[in-house]
């Protein structure tokens, strides 16, 4: 039987534009994915847009990379700016800035997780509301009884409210979400009142109740009913986290979710040295000379046609190793999750992490002093080089900044989806999502719901991932997913 | 599927007086909406961050007869046949839904994001059809041609926005620039959900919408929450305006309640109904349920995100004057 090639374009219920191409064959009597290609289909060139701007603009501009994790970009940019401007010291202003940044960032984590589980992922398992835009849907099977369907459907509707409430909570200090102007070099614009704290707390307690009583049990129920997905979508199994949510004002602070990496089959968490991160481009539409350099030395010159290249995304690797990033990586590295790596492990880790963050937010809110300014002024440097490492809800996020003549000379961003949805690298290793798709059984090749389940478990955000590309004038572009022909 | 639900009739009836609809026209509208061929809504995302869709999900209203939440908007007020972030199906099935509505031609088109035109539009491919990849540029040209009306949601679709800033590496442009066609522009980064819902509902009701020179509904950008005309310039209604007794100019951030004109605020050059409009019930003040917020309320400068000059080359943190 010939190998069937099937493309899903667009992949819906994600952020941004993604096409997945899979090759399907029957192996040992089971029709399954035998090869996979993840193809991002959007680029905007944010680094070019940032060049020559006031460095402080980075928080505002990079927030617009993504409408689902704007505060993660705001946070990464603010950390990079703090480093570049020399903002330091253990002061009340820095404490207030840290707490306000964490609280608004945390609000977006809760928003993103609830959005992801109920609105973006659940329709892969349960028929949604019987009307457009959920119908016509794909066949998701009939594994649930009526009570379970009613439970998930009513929680789906509640989730819409709680997701919105998470943003309303964040807007108490953020003013407007998505795209708050609150994150600035040196701190945060808002000054909390006691009334702000009380209103924030009311939203937070309601969200904690929802997460404890509905979200986590729902994720566990789904994992029980679809237990085969505890062994599907494993991928390479190497996990990386930059860490997030600073707990003190030191230069290398304690983090709620710590920095580290863990190789598959080991239990040791190893340190992260960002100088070992390099992006490879053999299967990406960029000149080979751009590849394998650290972020701030990397360049990006589009090249078409180019050998077997098939993606706009580069392939970031750590010391040549393919790492998966995201809540599962964070929770595993932090010692809070120890079940494994799979589709359902990603959902379970995300749900439990959401509660951990929500409970931590309670503490940060309590520590926040009403009336305290959250800003530390520092003069603009003429030149500086710095980085800002944090985590977006969907994984490790790094911003690299170079200032010259008090302007942005170079800005580089490596997003979580760059790691997770990367194409093959120079040595032919597939990206984490591509690898996770191998061996996944597919019943209906035209409507491969099983493929969607694996894709959605990573919570991909192509808005983030594909901004890094930078096309040169005159470069030729071929249709995504199509191997470039000889000129 | 009939798009008309009880609450939508309720909305129509209650807003009829405000909108100047007579009973006869309302009755025709009800018949039209009960028709399975009633206008559908296609929401397509181009070179964007999905932030306007996320903002749409933040919809909340307590106005009698209005769809209160995004769930009510989608299930009771509009027939949303295509929205890549929330729809059930993927791939060809999803595109088939869109094509079916396109062939009938009677739809409201909502466009989020700019249109990249470099490299033949290939920086943004929105879907594949019959094995061929379709760029956002192609899709916008085709879909706007047969749309009953096109609503641009967010500053990218309205004016180009951030993708078109700086050296504009993908030659991104607005829908109007690309197509030369008239659009209703709901600008903002992101667009406010109440403004988006208002515009779509006006179109479904067949009401004429008066636009300003930038294609934005006058009723939204220069009118208060109660419907009465309101001072449109942010600076003139800002509680931190130095014209208010005792408000000094801020020397730095972290000064509560001071005017931020010296720190980059674009409020004097921005016209918008933002006050108490974001992430809550529009117009609700603190101590009312779900109070609305705005950037001004957190001691932040206005970045002028609803204007065609956003983001512009100027610093966000130095005194601003449009070029």
Q: Determine the pLDDT at residue B7.
A: 45
CB A167 to CB B123 under 8 A?
A: no
Lowest mean pLDDT among A59-73, B21-35, B43-57, B123-137: B21-35
Partner-chain residue, chosen from A12, A60, A371, that has the shortest CB–CB distance to B87: A12
Per DSSP, what are the bridge partners of residue A37?
A21
Q: Which residues contact B225 (CB under 8 A, 6 or more apart)?
A: B273, B276, B277, B282, B283
Q: Determine the pLDDT at residue A465.
A: 56
Rg of chain A (C-alpha set):
22
- Interface mutation vs chain B, best among A64, A310, A377, most B CBs within 10 Å: A64
Catalytic residue among B189, B258, B284, B303: B189
Distance from CA of A412 to the nearest CA of B (A): 15
Cβ pair A427, A319 in contact under 8 A:
no
Confirm whether B124 is a catalytic residue.
no
Rounded average pLDDT over A265-291: 89
Lowest mean pLDDT among A465-474, B83-92, B103-112: A465-474
Terminal Cα-to-Cα distance of chain A (whole angstroms): 33
* Higher pLDDT among residues B31 and A299, named by residue: A299
- Going A61 to B281 to A116 to B77, the CA torsion angle's sign is negative
**What are the CA-CA distances from residue B28 to residues A222, A387, B38, B102 (Å)?**
47, 61, 12, 24
Q: Which two tokens stand for residue A19?
A: 């096409």
Cβ pair A385, A291 in contact under 8 A:
no
User: CA nearest A317: which of A215, A453, A427, A199?
Assistant: A427
Rounded average pLDDT over A350-356: 98
From CA B190, how far away is CA B274, in angstroms rounded? 12
User: Which residues in B lie closer than 8 A to residue A285 (C-beta atoms)?
Assistant: none
Nearest residue in B to A118, CA atom: B86
Q: Determine the pLDDT at residue A308.
A: 84
Rounded average pLDDT over A357-363: 98
CB A56 to CB B316 under 8 A?
A: yes
Query: What percentage of chain A reaches a pLDDT higher than 70?
Result: 93
CB A373 to CB B255 under 8 A?
A: yes
Q: Determine the pLDDT at residue B280.
A: 97
Cβ pair B151, B200 in contact under 8 A:
yes
The enclosing H or E element of A411 equals strand A407-414
Nearest residue in B to A57, CA atom: B316
Partner-chain residue, chosen from B81, B166, B167, that has the shortest CB–CB distance to A132: B81
Q: Say what the pTM is.
A: 0.93
User: CA nearest A39: which of A60, A22, A18?
Assistant: A18
Q: Determine the pLDDT at residue B264.
A: 97
Catalytic residue among B136, B235, B258, B284: B235
From CA B313, how far away is CA B80, in angstroms rounded? 37
Rg of chain B (C-alpha set):
20
Per DSSP, what are the bridge partners of residue B211?
B217
Quick one: pLDDT band at residue A475, thresholds 50, 70, 90?
very low
The per-residue pLDDT for range B78-90, each reduced to its tens digit, is 889 999 998 888 8
Nearest residue in B to A66, CA atom: B49
From CA A401, how far away is CA A15, in angstroms rounded? 25
The per-residue pLDDT for range B132-153, each reduced to its tens digit, is 889 999 999 999 999 999 999 9
CB B86 to CB A186 under 8 A?
A: no
Q: Determine the pLDDT at residue A91.
A: 98
User: Can you spell out the DSSP letters for B168-186?
Assistant: -TT-EE-HHHHH----EEE
Q: Determine the pLDDT at residue A391.
A: 98
Rounded average pLDDT over B42-55: 95
The enclosing H or E element of B9 equals helix B6-19
Cβ pair B47, B149 in contact under 8 A:
no
Q: CB atoms < 10 A from the CB of A157, how many?
A: 14
Partner-chain residue, chosen from B55, B75, B119, that has the shortest CB–CB distance to A475: B119
DSSP classification of residue A130: S
User: Which residues in A lie closer than 8 A to residue B194 (C-beta atoms)?
Assistant: none
Lowest mean pLDDT among A299-308, A340-349, B85-94, B150-159: A299-308
- Interface mutation vs chain B, best among A179, A196, A467, most B CBs within 10 Å: A179
- Exposure class string for A466-481: b at 16+ Cβ within 10 A, else e: bbbbbbeeeeebbbbb
The per-residue pLDDT for range A388-408, each reduced to its tens digit, is 999 999 999 999 999 999 999
- Exposure class string for A399-429: b at 16+ Cβ within 10 A, else e: bbbbbeeebbbbbbbbbbbbbbbbbbbbeeb
Q: CB atoms < 10 A from the CB of B213, how many?
A: 6
Pure H helices in A127-253:
146-174, 194-210, 216-225
Rounded average pLDDT over A151-156: 92
Indicate the SS3 state at residue A447. Answer: helix
Rounded average pLDDT over B16-44: 56
Q: Determine the pLDDT at residue A288.
A: 85
Catalytic residue among B52, B124, B152, B158: B52
Rounded average pLDDT over A470-482: 33
Say whether the peptide bond before residue A136 is cis (omega within 30 degrees of 0).
yes
From CA B263, how far away is CA B319, in angstroms rounded? 6
CB B125 to CB A9 under 8 A?
A: yes
User: CA nearest A167: which of A93, A104, A218?
Assistant: A104
Q: What are phi and psi of A184, to 5 degrees?
A: -130, 160
Quick one: pLDDT band at residue B23, thresholds 50, 70, 90?
very low
| Res. A189: pLDDT tops 50 | yes
| Res. B228: pLDDT tops 90 | no
Q: Determine the pLDDT at residue B36.
A: 59
ipTM given for this complex:
0.92
Residues of chain B by 3-state class (helix, strand, coil), percent to 5 = 35, 15, 50
The per-residue pLDDT for range A316-325, each reduced to its tens digit, is 999 999 999 9
Q: What are phi and psi of B112, to 5 degrees?
A: -115, 130
From CA A9, how far away is CA A19, in angstroms rounded? 5
DSSP classification of residue B20: T
User: CA nearest A56: which of B317, B254, B309, B302?
Assistant: B317
Terminal Cα-to-Cα distance of chain B (whole angstroms): 50
Q: What angle do CA B79, B161, A393 make, to 5 degrees?
A: 70
Q: Which residues contact A352 (CB under 8 A, 6 or more apart)?
A: A216, A331, A336, A337
Supply the mean pLDDT for chain A: 90
- Sheet of A4-8: strands edge to edge? A4-8, A18-27, A30-40
Partner-chain residue, chosen from A42, A127, A178, that has the shortest CB–CB distance to B190: A178
CB A131 to CB B1 under 8 A?
A: yes
From CA A408, how far away is CA A386, in angstroms rounded? 11
Partner-chain residue, chosen from A48, A60, A68, that has the shortest CB–CB distance to B316: A60
Lowest mean pLDDT among A98-107, A169-178, A329-338, B166-175: B166-175
Confirm whether B302 is a catalytic residue.
yes
User: Which residues in A lie closer than 8 A to residue B315 (C-beta atoms)?
Assistant: 53-54, 56-57
| Res. A486: pLDDT tops 60 | no
Confirm whether B265 is a catalytic residue.
yes
CB A191 to CB B313 under 8 A?
A: no
Nearest residue in A to B128, CA atom: A9
Lowest mean pLDDT among A65-79, A298-312, B179-193, B245-259: A298-312
| Res. B260: pLDDT tops 90 | yes
Q: Which residues contact A205 (CB under 8 A, 6 or more apart)?
A: none
Q: Determine the pLDDT at residue B161.
A: 97
**What are the CA-CA distances from residue A161 to residues A166, A199, A213, A481, B198 (Å)?**
9, 17, 15, 38, 20
Say which residue the tokens 């479904």 belong to.
B204
Confirm whether B235 is a catalytic residue.
yes
Distance from CA of B306 to the nearest CA of A (A): 13
Confirm whether B158 is a catalytic residue.
no
Per DSSP, what are the bridge partners of residue A7?
A21
Q: Determine the pLDDT at residue B205.
A: 81
Catalytic residue among B12, B274, B284, B303: B274
User: Which residues in B lie closer than 8 A to residue A51 (C-beta atoms)?
Assistant: 166-167
Partner-chain residue, chosen from B88, B189, B293, that has the shortest CB–CB distance to A179: B189
Nearest residue in A to B53, CA atom: A67
Distance from CA of A50 to the nearest CA of B (A): 7
Cβ pair A7, A35 in contact under 8 A:
no
| Res. A283: pLDDT tops 60 | yes
Q: Determine the pLDDT at residue B47.
A: 93
From CA B229, how far away is CA B245, in angstroms rounded? 25
Q: Determine the pLDDT at residue B43.
A: 96
| Res. B5: pLDDT tops 50 | no
The per-residue pLDDT for range B156-183, each reduced to its tens digit, is 999 999 999 999 988 999 999 999 999 9
Cβ pair A349, A77 in contact under 8 A:
no
User: Which residues in A lie closer than 8 A to residue B118 (C-beta atoms)?
Assistant: 471, 473
Distance from CA of A269 to the nearest CA of B (A): 34
Rounded average pLDDT over A206-210: 98
The per-residue pLDDT for range B276-308, each reduced to its tens digit, is 999 999 999 999 999 999 999 999 999 999 999
**What are the CA-CA distances from residue A290 to residues A300, A408, A435 (Å)?**
6, 21, 25
Quick one: pLDDT band at residue A247, thresholds 50, 70, 90?
very high
Quick one: pLDDT band at residue B14, thresholds 50, 70, 90?
very low
Partner-chain residue, chosen from B81, B123, B132, that has the shortest CB–CB distance to A42: B123
Rounded average pLDDT over A481-485: 32
From CA B222, how far away is CA B230, in angstroms rounded? 6
Distance from CA of A51 to the nearest CA of B (A): 8
Quick one: pLDDT band at residue B6, thresholds 50, 70, 90?
very low
* Higher pLDDT among residues A415 and B20, named by residue: A415
Quick one: pLDDT band at residue A224, thresholds 50, 70, 90?
very high
Confirm whether B238 is a catalytic residue.
yes
């Amino acid at each position: 039987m010939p190998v069937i090639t099937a493309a899903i374009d667009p992949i819906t219920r994600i952020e941004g534009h993604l096409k997945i191409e899979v090759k399907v064959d029957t192996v040992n009597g089971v029709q399954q994915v035998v090869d996979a290609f993840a193809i991002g289909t959007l680029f905007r060139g944010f680094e070019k847009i940032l060049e020559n701007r006031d460095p402080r603009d980075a928080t505002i501009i990079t927030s617009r990379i993504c409408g689902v994790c704007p505060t993660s970009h705001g946070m990464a940019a603010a950390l990079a700016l703090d480093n570049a401007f020399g903002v330091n010291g253990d002061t009340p202003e820095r404490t207030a800035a840290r707490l306000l940044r964490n609280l608004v960032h945390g609000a977006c984590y809760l928003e993103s997780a609830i959005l992801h589980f109920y609105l973006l992922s659940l329709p892969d398992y349960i028929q949604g509301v019987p009307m457009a835009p959920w119908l016509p849907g794909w066949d998701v099977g009939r594994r649930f009884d009526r009570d379970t369907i009613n439970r998930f459907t009513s929680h789906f509707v509640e989730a819409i409210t709680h997701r919105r409430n998470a943003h309303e909570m964040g807007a108490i200090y953020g003013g407007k979400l998505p795209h708050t102007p609150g994150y600035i070099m040196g701190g945060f614009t808002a000054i909390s009142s006691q009334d702000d704290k009380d209103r924030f707390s009311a939203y937070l307690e309601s969200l904690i109740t929802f997460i404890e009583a509905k979200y986590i049990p729902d994720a566990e129920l789904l994992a029980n009913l679809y237990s085969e997905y505890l062994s599907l979508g494993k991928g390479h199994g190497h996990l990386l986290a930059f860490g997030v949510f600073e707990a003190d004002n030191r230069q290398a602070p304690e983090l709620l979710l710590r920095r580290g990496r863990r190789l598959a089959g080991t239990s040791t968490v190893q340190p992260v040295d960002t100088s070992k991160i390099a992006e490879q481009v053999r299967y990406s539409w960029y000149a080979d000379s751009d590849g394998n350099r650290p972020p701030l030395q990397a360049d990006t010159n589009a090249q078409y046609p180019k050998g077997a290249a098939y993606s706009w995304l580069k392939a970031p690797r750590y010391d040549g190793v393919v790492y998966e990033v995201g809540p599962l990586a964070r929770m595993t590295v932090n010692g809070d999750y120890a079940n494994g790596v799979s589709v359902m492990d990603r959902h379970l880790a995300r749900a439990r992490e959401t509660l951990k963050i929500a409970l931590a937010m309670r503490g940060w809110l309590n520590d926040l002093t009403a009336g305290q300014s959250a800003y530390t002024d520092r003069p603009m440097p003429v030149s500086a080089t710095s980085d800002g490492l944090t985590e977006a809800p969907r994984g490790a996020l790094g911003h690299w900044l170079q200032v010259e003549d008090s302007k942005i000379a170079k800005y580089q961003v490596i997003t979580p989806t760059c790691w997770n949805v990367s194409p093959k690298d120079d040595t032919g290793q597939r990206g984490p999502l591509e690898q996770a798709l191998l061996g996944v059984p597919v019943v209906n090749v035209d409507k491969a719901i099983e493929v969607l389940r694996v894709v959605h478990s990573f919570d991909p955000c192509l808005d983030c991932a594909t901004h890094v590309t930078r096309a040169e004038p005159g470069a030729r572009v071929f249709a995504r997913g199509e191997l470039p022909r000889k000129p | 599927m009939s798009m008309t639900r009880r609450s939508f009739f309720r909305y129509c009836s209650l807003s009829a007086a405000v909108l100047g609809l007579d009973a006869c026209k309302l009755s025709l509208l009800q018949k039209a909406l009960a028709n399975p061929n009633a206008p559908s809504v296609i929401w397509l995302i181009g070179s964007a961050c999905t932030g306007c869709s996320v903002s749409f999900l933040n919809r909340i209203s307590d106005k009698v007869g209005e769809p209160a939440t995004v769930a009510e908007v989608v299930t009771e007020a509009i027939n949303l046949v295509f929205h890549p972030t929330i729809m059930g199906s993927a791939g060809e099935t999803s595109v088939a839904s869109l094509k079916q509505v396109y062939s009938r031609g009677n739809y409201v088109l909502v466009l989020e994001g700019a249109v990249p035109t470099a490299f033949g539009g290939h920086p943004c491919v929105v879907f594949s059809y019959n094995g061929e990849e379709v760029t956002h540029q192609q899709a916008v040209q085709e879909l706007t041609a047969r749309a009953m009306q096109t609503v641009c949601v967010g500053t990218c679709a309205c004016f180009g926005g951030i993708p078109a800033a700086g050296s504009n590496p993908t030659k991104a442009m607005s829908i109007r620039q690309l197509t030369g066609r008239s659009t209703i522009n709901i600008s903002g980064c992101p667009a406010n959900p109440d403004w988006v819902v208002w515009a779509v509902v006006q179109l479904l009701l067949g009401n004429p919408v008066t636009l300003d020179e930038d294609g934005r509904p006058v009723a939204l950008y220069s009118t208060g929450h109660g419907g009465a005309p309101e001072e449109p310039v942010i600076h003139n209604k800002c509680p931190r305006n130095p014209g208010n007794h005792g408000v000094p100019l801020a020397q730095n951030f972290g000064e509560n309640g001071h005017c931020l004109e010296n720190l980059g605020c674009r409020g004097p050059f921005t016209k918008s109904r933002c006050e108490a409009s974001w992430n809550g019930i529009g117009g609700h003040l603190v101590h009312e349920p779900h109070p609305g917020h705005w950037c001004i309320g957190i001691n932040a400068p206005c970045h002028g995100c609803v204007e065609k000059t956003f983001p512009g080359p100027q610093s966000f943190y130095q005194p601003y004057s449009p070029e």
